[in-house]
Amino acid sequence: MLPFATFRANRIVQGEVRGVVEALPPIIGYGFIAIIVAAGLVAFFRTGVKIRLGLALIALAVLAISIGIAASNLTPVGNTYARVSPASGFWLIFAGLALLATDAIARLNPGPLIRILLLIGTLVVVGGILVSGQWNDLSVMKEYASRSDIFWTEAKRHVQLAMGSLFAATLIGIPLGVLCYKVERLRAGVLNSLNIMQTIPSIALFGLLIAPLGWIATHVPGASQIGIRGIGMAPAFVALFLYSLLPVVSNTVVGLDGVPQSVREAARGLGMTGWQRLLRIEFPLAMPIILTGIRIVLVQNIGLATVAALIGGGGFGVFVFQGIGQTAMDLVLLGTIPTVVMGFAAAILLDALIDSNLFNRGVGV
């Protein structure tokens, strides 16, 4: 059986793996195995989709509680140096149960509101476990405890980078997309230029921006006072903004171009002007595709903002690169897990908004 948890006397030494029965008290360990086996049998045999989803969610909750119990069970009383981390068996079980739950949700095809409620319910359960202290003996939580003040500062910077660059790209990208849609001669040049920008690796683009932004900070009065510098958040923000433009602009063009010609002709027949047709008919009908581009940008930026730490931009990447430098994988997880959760939540929320068809209601000619 694959190891369930890894015990280390401190955060530096080599770990010793423990199986489920070794890591958990016997009764809890065998009960845990029974639940996981039941979930596995449900996955392999034809059963109701709701049963599969319910058992997968129960097994995930049991898995989350069990790793906390394992950490408490393996940590010697009063020992503040010992570290307990999830091992490969835990992650394999988690991946399998998550896949089972995702497949069941996809088959049920719930509406946007149900998906949002499922997301909120999951976050509430995880939040409840965190507040209860069930995971306090896990190594990643000990890393958080020693960096709690810095964690929330970097979390704020990560959100500022991801959301700020998205807002700027939306503010500029949508009008630019409308312009490309209206003036076909501009379309190829603008989209090709933005495509070239996408081919530049993020590290290289961050580096390319250091010199011009540093020059602006030095020679433009007041630039450094508002945060424009060769390193820090400024080059990271500009790079994320440039990466964000292509999905927003291209999806705006595709969305507007996909409005049926019959709808345009009907609006024109009712005497609507070009701007009226654009704002009241074409734009609402194109909005789901435009929002798809915004969704791509948001998830992309949440991930790319991690790399900003390499040039002093802050964010969760600070913990990732510190952990890599110190060979402390739990510190890497402290930066990785919230990044993944943020991206996952953003994708679900925007997918629900796209599927809700809110922007198409009331559109008519």
pLDDT number for residue 226: 66
Instruction: Give yes or no for residue 361 having a pLDDT over 60.
Output: no
Band (pLDDT 50/70/90 cuts) for residue 247 is very high
Least confident of 68-72, 125-129, 223-227, 290-294: 223-227
Answer yes or no: are the C-beta atoms of 310 and 203 closer than 8 Å.
yes
Q: Domain 148-360, what architecture?
A: Orthogonal Bundle (1.10)
Answer yes or no: are the C-beta atoms of 246 and 198 closer than 8 Å.
yes
Which residue in 312, 315, 295 sits closest to 304, CA to CA? 315
pLDDT number for residue 346: 92
Average pLDDT over residues 268-288: 82
Which residue in 192, 191, 194 sits closest to 244, CA to CA? 194
Instruction: Give yes or no for residue 11 having a pLDDT over 80.
Output: no
Q: Decide the pairing of beta strands 16-18 and 83-86.
A: unpaired
Which has more confidence, 221 or 138? 138
Instruction: Give yes or no for residue 286 having a pLDDT over 60.
Output: yes
Q: Could you give the percent of the chain with pLDDT greater than 70?
A: 95
Dihedral angle of Cα 171, 172, 175, 179, to the nearest 10 degrees: -170
Instruction: Give yes or no for residue 77 having a pLDDT over 70.
Output: yes
Task: Render pLDDT for 258-273 as a digit per residue (tens, 0 to 9).
Answer: 888 888 888 788 878 7
Every domain of the chain with CATH number 1.10.3720.10 lies at 148-360
Average pLDDT over residues 157-173: 92
Average pLDDT over residues 71-81: 85
Which residue in 54, 55, 63, 61 sits closest to 38, CA to CA? 55
Q: Decide the pairing of beta strands 5-8 and 16-18.
A: antiparallel
Answer yes or no: are the C-beta atoms of 206 and 310 closer than 8 Å.
yes
Least confident of 87-91, 125-129, 145-149, 271-275: 271-275
Tokens representing residue 316 in the block: 């969760």
Tokens representing residue 53 in the block: 């989803």
pLDDT number for residue 59: 92
Average pLDDT, the chain: 86
Task: Render pLDDT for 296-329 as a digit per residue (tens, 0 to 9).
Answer: 999 999 998 898 888 888 889 999 998 888 878 8
Band (pLDDT 50/70/90 cuts) for residue 363 is low
Across 25-29, 77-81, 208-212, the highest mean pLDDT is recorded for 25-29
Alpha-carbon distance of 280 to 51, in angstroms, equals 45
pLDDT number for residue 150: 92
Least confident of 71-85, 116-130, 144-158, 203-217: 203-217
Helix ranges (H only) for the chain are 20-23, 26-44, 49-74, 88-108, 112-132, 139-145, 148-182, 184-199, 202-219, 233-257, 261-269, 274-277, 283-304, 317-326, 329-355
pLDDT number for residue 364: 52
DSSP of 256-268: HHTS-HHHHHHHH
Answer yes or no: are the C-beta atoms of 334 and 143 closer than 8 Å.
yes
Alpha-carbon distance of 181 to 75, in angstroms, equals 62
Average pLDDT over residues 276-291: 85
Which residue in 23, 307, 11 sits closest to 146, CA to CA? 11
**pTM score of the predicted model:** 0.85
